[in-house]
Copies of this chain bind each other. A is one copy, B any other.
Amino acid sequence: MEYTHGPNQPVLVLSEEQSWQLLSHTSHGRVATAVAGEIDIVPVNYGVHNKKLFLRTAPGNKLASMAINAKVAFEADGILADEAWSVVVHGTAELLESEADIQEARESGVSPWIPTQKDFWVRIHVDSISGRHFELGEQPEVAE
């Protein structure tokens, strides 16, 4: 993807399409949850299918506590020497149980970080998606 920053414009707001494209080419992100006032954040592998996010995780993972129709925030990013991007999603997480749902999840191509047999599936319905592209650089000196 090409990113055209204007002069003095180190942060570029991406379109939804650009944001989805970045998410589709990455497989690692983090999910933030706030259950009973306890805020938490967990690293996840994810897949994208039909503009939904799919996670597959081991039992006992904290994702279990948030997967009951809970509001979540999700972030994925990529950092190179002189540029970076970050995409943030707000949505609702749902624990998948039916075979049809799990089949859809499999089509996202998500694979878990660690080998385990009894994992479970989570689908995140996306309410909003936003992306930023950053030109990295030095902090300018403040004029005295």
Residues on A lying within 8 angstroms of B by beta carbon are 10-11, 28, 30, 32-34, 37, 39-43, 71-75, 77, 79, 84, 86, 88, 90, 111-117, 119, 134-140, 142
Contacts and interface: CB of A to CB of B under 8 A. Distances in A.
Contact of A115 (B10, B41, B77): B10
A85 B15 CA distance: 31
Given A115-B139, A117-B140, A75 B43 contact: yes
Contact of A135 (B79, B114, B119): B114
A86 B32 contact: no
Contacts of A86: 42-43
Chain A interface, DSSP helix/strand/loop, else mixed: strand
Nearest to A142: B117
Contacts of A40: 32, 73, 88, 90
A40 B30 CA distance: 11
Given A32-B41, A74-B41, A88-B42, A137 B114 contact: yes
Contacts of A115: 10, 137-140
